[in-house]
Amino acid sequence: MKTITFDINNLVRENVKGLKPYSSARDEYVSDGSDMIFLDANENPYENGVNRYPDPQQRSLKTVLAKQKGVSIHNILLGNGSDEVLDLIFRAFCEPKEDNIITLPPTYGMYKVLANINVIEEREVLLTSDFEPDVTTILETVNSHTKIIFLCSPNNPTGNSFSEEAIEKILKDFTGLVLIDEAYIDFSTKESWLKKINEYPNLVITQTLSKAYGLAGVRLGVCYASEEIIRVLNKIKPPYNVNELTQKRALTRVLDVDKVTAEVGSILRERAHLVHELSAIDFVKEIYKTDANFILVKVDDATMRYEQLLKRGIVIRNRSTQPLCEETLRFTVGTPDENKKIIEILKQL
Ligand SMILES: *Cc1c(COP(=O)(O)O)cnc(C)c1O
């Protein structure tokens, strides 16, 4: 039996190991709230709400998130959307032209794009026919240059959550980073893997305020991981990567738990209703099990149905070009009125 050990020094890029991060004015002097005169950052001194640089460590927001999620603020990194968080992870751990990552299509397209941007080989291991990770093949695909395995659960565009056993086996048998993208976790019946970040030193979790929290427009992505991983990411992040307006708006929203919970509840009820109605449409061949705020369905002719809906003012996503997704359409759950409208139209087609 081979001994599996995790050592972050085997994963961090050499240039990042030696890097001395930029020290901004706001890093050097941290305000304790007392009445100071700030002449350290060449800002315009006239108050307008955003004339000062934002907190580079987003302490107010992280403090609330840490409390809600039961982690330390040192387990959190915030970014300009998950997309920035994912890019930072690539740049911290993957050596261009040398390292590789593994993705499991059909899945979120950004992993591949970011791999290409960062000149990192992307190795693809298809999900099984029931959209589960093919653990044996994944582990066979790993070599000494494999830095990250991307698991999107609940997965986009299929909607299902991966089995816990599959995820656990990958976490245990792979010594690189296992990134679980939990963008849709708030719609899922499964628990987040957040509670396991202290158990698995190689576990990285990303979440976002773009879906359940309804803040796609302000761009806030969240990364949860061990303090040692977060420390590495903090070294390379742009100092003011989360702007003041985003920090304020996100804080207000995460504090409004009741509102978010109510909206998610409504979306879940509407999802069940949509699934029920879709099952009565004769050109709908299959409705895949979903743990997210969207539904993937197989139809008779996806391109034709997509065009028909578009003509009637409804934009959905045709996912037919994705492997294992031939003739599929992805519907995001809308408001009750929107869902009623789409069902009416589908019935008329
Ligand atoms: C929508 C989505 C995201 C969100 O990305 P942001 O940059 O935070 O808006 C991340 N991962 C997956 C799988 C998604 O579908």
Token readout for 17 is 């190991």
Overall average pLDDT of the 179-184 stretch: 98
Q: What is the pLDDT of residue 193?
A: 98
Q: What is the pLDDT of residue 3?
A: 55
Of 261, 176, 178, nearest to 214 by C-alpha is 261
CATH topology of domain 258-348: Aspartate Aminotransferase, domain 1 (3.90.1150)
Half-sphere exposure in the Cβ direction for 77 (13 Å, CA):
29
Which H or E run contains 122?
A: strand 121-124
Instruction: Give the domain ranges of the chain.
Output: 8-255, 258-348
Q: How far is the CA of 287 from the centre of ligand 1 (A)?
A: 23
Bridge partners of 205?
180, 224
Q: What's the pTM?
A: 0.97
Q: What is the pLDDT of residue 26?
A: 80
Amino acid at 77: L
Q: Do domains 8-255 and 258-348 have the same CATH topology?
A: no
Report whether pLDDT(278) > 90: yes
Report whether pLDDT(290) > 70: yes
Q: How far is the CA of 228 from the centre of ligand 1 (A)?
A: 24
Residues 6+ apart with CB under 8 A from 319: 106, 157, 296, 302, 325, 328, 329, 330
Say yes or no: CB of residue 84 within 6 Å of ligand 1.
Answer: no
Say yes or no: CB of residue 82 within 6 Å of ligand 1.
Answer: yes
Buried b (16+ CB within 10 A) or exposed e, 31-67: eeeeeeeeeeeeeeeeeeeeebbbbbbbeebbebbbe
Overall average pLDDT of the 282-307 stretch: 98
Q: What is the pLDDT of residue 1?
A: 47
In the numeric block, the tokens 């991966």 are attached to 162
Could you tell me which CATH class the domain 8-255 is placed in? alpha beta
pLDDT in tens, 315-347: 999 999 999 999 999 999 999 999 999 999 999
pLDDT band at 30 (very low <50, low <70, confident <90, very high): confident
Ligand 1, atom nearest to 83 Cα? 7
pLDDT band at 23 (very low <50, low <70, confident <90, very high): confident
pLDDT-above-90 percentage for the chain: 94
Mean pLDDT score of the chain, rounded to an integer? 96
Candidate of 110, 151, 319 to mutate for ligand 1, largest count of ligand atoms within 8 Å of Cβ: 110
| Count of other CB atoms within 10 angstroms of residue 326 | 11
pLDDT band at 33 (very low <50, low <70, confident <90, very high): confident
Q: What is the pLDDT of residue 5?
A: 83
Residue whose Cα lies nearest atom 3 of ligand 1: it is: 183
Bridge partners of 242?
none
Q: What is the pLDDT of residue 28?
A: 82
pLDDT in tens, 84-99: 999 999 999 999 999 9
pLDDT band at 25 (very low <50, low <70, confident <90, very high): confident
Q: How far is the CA of 192 from the centre of ligand 1 (A)?
A: 16
pLDDT in tens, 64-76: 999 999 999 999 9
| Count of other CB atoms within 10 angstroms of residue 124 | 13
Overall average pLDDT of the 291-304 stretch: 98
Q: How far is the CA of 224 from the centre of ligand 1 (A)?
A: 15
Say yes or no: CB of residue 83 within 6 Å of ligand 1.
Answer: yes
Residue whose Cα lies nearest atom 12 of ligand 1: it is: 183
pLDDT in tens, 209-232: 999 999 999 999 999 999 999 999
Report whether pLDDT(132) > 90: yes
Ligand 1, atom nearest to 211 Cα? 1
pLDDT band at 4 (very low <50, low <70, confident <90, very high): low
